[in-house]
Every structure is written in C-alpha cells, then in structure tokens.
C-alpha cells in the first residue's frame, strides 16, 4: 500500500508515536524496553519527539484513538508489535500517516523491520544436531505472535534439513511465560524417552528448563543440552546459557529513522529489512555422548 502524499510540516519538531501492546512476562518486557531505548536514541539524534502509547493487546480498536491518525499532528507511527493485525496498520496508512511495523515481516508491501527469528531458531537447532542430538524438544513461545510462530518454524526447518521427522510429543507450548514453560519442561523431562536437548523460544523459558532439570537430577550439559533465545537473563549463578542476542535497539532505531525519511518524502518504499540474531554458545550445550 502506498502512503498518501504528506502535508507540509508545520513549525514544530517531528512527532513519532511508538505503539507498544502491553506484555506481562519478563521476556517481552525486556523487548519493550529495548524498543523504547532504540526509538529514544534515534529521536534524540533527529531532534524529534516520541510519544509512547501503551495499548491493550486484546483491544486493538483502541490502538489508534485520539489524534494518532491526524497527519497534521503525527509524523509517523512505529508499531512494536501488531499481533498479526494488519488492518490496524492499513487504518494508519489510509489516514496518510507513515507507518513501520517491527518484528512482523510481511511479503505484502508494508514497511517492516524485523529480527530473522526463523533463521536464528534454525541455526540454534542445527547447532544441537551437529552435536549429535536427534531427539530435540521445543518449548514454543506465544503462537499468537509472529516471533513465536517463526521460532517454531525454524525448529522444524532444522529438523527437516537433518532428516529428522517431526514428533508432536516433543513440542510443548510455553507462551513466553514462566509457569507454562515449567509445566512444559516437566512434561518433556519426566518422560521415560525424554529428549537429549531442548530449544526454548525465550531465555525465560530456557531457565525454567534448567531449573526443572536440576530438580530432577539431570545434569546440564552432560545429560541435557539447552538453547534459549534473547540473551537477556541470568539465573544468579555462573550458568551461561546458549542463546541468541537480538539487535532490538538497532531495529527500533532504524524504525524511527525510516519514519523520519518517510515524513520528508525521501524514503524508498517499501522499507524491508531483516536483521540477524547472534548465536551465543554459552555453556549449556555439549556433544551427545
């Protein structure tokens, strides 16, 4: 979709709105914090103002209230997440407000900057396969989010590339939350035919796996390898989790810079960018004996 021609900016600083759906769990709170940091850094450099709009995830109708769709007042909207609701993005575009969506890549001509979650997840599971693991469990994130879906898809990509068949019993839902992740870890590790490795879609969930393994007397990494995603937590010990570091700050900064260029009519559209997550080897994986 094309953004309508922008009206001339009045004598004021550029104003960009950062829309963040409210998250309850620690992993996503970290994500929101990093997005705000990156957006603020870019706005400061551009001498622009940022309005942070926290919204209810379950009530998308309230996301664009007030003057947020007034192109005379707002120079661009950066969505930290949209929960797959592209209609809310279309509403802003129809109103003539430049928009960029974070972490929700799309083949449609929307402006999107995202982490390549699928490729990173595939790399993490491929690392486990290279260490000799064939029975690899997965604790999935919130499958209503694109990050959760893509990390699950990356897990399956790695299995397929290695010629390992899918086993539904090895995939449990954790929702990026501690309690469901703990229950998922218990279900996987108490099984007589338990996996030798687990890829958890967030560090929050990976540390629940580590704690359950300790409770059950399963040694990590000698008897169980664990990979997480986020690189934002420690368990207060010397444990160095194998995980992925995401350039979230860079993603948000690029989002505000893109909006600034769009507001001046200088951006080449659509803006499409996939950023790589860096694998941190840590000390929670080992070659299968």
Q: How do the domains of the chain map onto residue ranges? A: 15-115+246-276, 117-245
* Domains 15-115+246-276 and 117-245 belong to one CATH topology: yes
So what's the pLDDT on residue 36?
94
Given a contact cutoff of 8 angstroms between Cβ atoms, the answer to whether 88 and 63 are in contact is: yes
So what's the pLDDT on residue 22?
78
27 exposure class (CB count in 10 Å sphere: 0-12, 13-18, 19+) = buried
Given a contact cutoff of 8 angstroms between Cβ atoms, the answer to whether 289 and 133 are in contact is: no
- And the tokens for 229? 């995603």
So what's the pLDDT on residue 5?
46
H-state helical runs in the chain: 26-46, 86-94, 117-130, 146-161, 178-189, 203-215, 248-263
So what's the pLDDT on residue 24?
59
Assigned fold of 15-115+246-276: Rossmann fold (3.40.50)
Distances (CA, A) of 205 to 31, 148, 168, 216: 15, 12, 19, 17
So what's the pLDDT on residue 234?
59
So what's the pLDDT on residue 283?
95
If we measure between CA atoms, which residue out of 66, 23, 280 comes closest to residue 175? 23
Q: pLDDT 10s per residue in the chain (289 long)?
A: 444 444 445 578 999 999 998 765 544 578 888 999 999 999 999 999 999 998 887 788 889 988 899 999 999 999 999 988 899 999 999 999 999 999 999 999 999 999 999 999 999 999 999 999 999 999 999 998 899 999 999 999 999 999 999 999 999 999 999 999 999 999 999 999 999 999 999 999 999 999 999 999 999 999 999 999 999 865 555 579 999 999 999 999 999 999 999 999 999 999 999 999 999 999 999 999 8
Q: What's the predicted TM-score (pTM) here?
A: 0.88
Q: Say which CATH superfamily domain 117-245 falls into.
A: Response regulator (3.40.50.2300)
């Amino acid at each position: 979709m094309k953004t309508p021609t922008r009206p001339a900016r009045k004598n004021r600083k550029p104003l960009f709105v950062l829309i963040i759906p409210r998250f309850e769990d620690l992993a996503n709170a970290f994500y929101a914090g990093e997005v705000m940091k990156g957006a603020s850094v870019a706005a400061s450099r551009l001498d622009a103002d940022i309005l942070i709009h926290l919204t209810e995830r379950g009530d998308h109708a309230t996301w664009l209230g007030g003057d947020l769709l007034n192109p005379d007042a707002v120079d661009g909207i950066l969505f930290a997440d949209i929960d797959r609701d592209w209609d809310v993005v279309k509403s802003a575009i129809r109103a003539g407000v430049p928009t960029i969506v974070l972490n929700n890549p799309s083949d449609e001509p929307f402006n999107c900057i995202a982490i390549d979650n699928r490729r990173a997840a595939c790399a993490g599971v491929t690392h486990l396969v290279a260490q000799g693991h064939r029975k690899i469990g997965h604790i999935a994130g919130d499958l209503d989010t694109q990050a959760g879906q893509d990390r699950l898809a990356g897990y399956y990509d790695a299995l397929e590339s290695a010629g390992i068949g899918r086993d539904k019993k090895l995939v449990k839902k954790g929702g990026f939350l501690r309690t469901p992740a703990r229950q998922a870890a218990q279900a996987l590790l108490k099984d007589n035919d338990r996996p030798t490795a687990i890829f958890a879609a967030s560090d929050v969930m990976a540390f629940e796996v580590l704690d359950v393994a300790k409770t059950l007397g399963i040694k990590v990494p000698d008897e169980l390898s664990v990979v997480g995603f986020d690189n934002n937590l420690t368990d207060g010990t010397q444990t160095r989790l194998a995980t992925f570091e995401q350039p979230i700050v860079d993603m948000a900064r690029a989002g505000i810079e893109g909006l600034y260029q769009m507001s001046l009519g200088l951006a080449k559209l659509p803006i499409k960018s996939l950023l790589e997550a860096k694998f941190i080897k840590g000390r929670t994986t080992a070659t299968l004996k």
